[in-house]
Amino acid sequence: MDITAFHKISYGLFVVTAHEEGKDNGCITNTVMQVTTTPNRITVAVNKANYTHDMIRRTGRFNVSILSEDAKFDIFKHWGFQSGRDIDKAVGITFSRAENGVIYVTEGANAVLSAEVTSEVDLGTHTLFVAEVTAAESLCNTPSATYAFYHCNIKPAPERPKKKGWVCTVCGYVYEGETLPEDFTCPWCKHPASDFKEME
């Protein structure tokens, strides 16, 4: 299967944030979609391995920062390539806090949505949260960053490995080694070995 075909789907890119008992956290996702307008509802799929997932399940609240074409790769590294279980993601970044008590990204984002979960669907590796939008604010007029734009303009080209390697077609992580284990999972984006290709 040619995984790059999925890059052609017109995804947006988002930082989904949550707050629980004084702790702020968030993760990158490309699976936010408006599903109704009366009332305004959205869906977001969050990987169960993400600490943000558990915070949303327990609190029922989250914010979505819609990333724009001005977003830098550092935003993706900060929110997507490290776990809130290990670090405090609210340190070293610029953010604001919405009325629901949850932070949102202000740099490299063009809008923010605050939402409350109304139902959820178990998708195996992910949970699909259906949520009612409780607040929305446009931050700027810069176009939203699509997944295709990210791959062409934001994500740096992978460096050539000194050894034989395999590159994750989703986030660019490079695994060095002669063979990629079949059960390997990308430590950055949690995608399986099937989403890696051999580096030339």
Query: Residue 7: helix, strand or coil by DSSP?
Result: helix
pTM higher than the cut 0.75: yes
Write the DSSP assignment of 109-153 as a string of letters. EEEEEEEEEEEEEE-SSEEEEEEEEEEEEE---SPBPBHHHIIII
Structure confidence at residue 159 (pLDDT) = 67
Question: 138-164: per-residue pLDDT in tens?
Answer: 999 999 999 889 988 998 877 665 678
Do residues 64 and 136 touch, judged by C-beta distance below 8 A?
A: no
Token pair, residue 12, equals: 């947006």
Question: 165-178: per-residue pLDDT in tens?
Answer: 899 998 889 998 88
Closest CA to 72 of 83, 64, 80, 84: 80
From the DSSP assignment, how many helices (H) and strands (E) are in the chain? 3, 12
Structure confidence at residue 146 (pLDDT) = 92
Chain centroid offset of residue 126 CA: 12
Q: Which residues contact 82 (CB under 8 A, 6 or more apart)?
A: 89
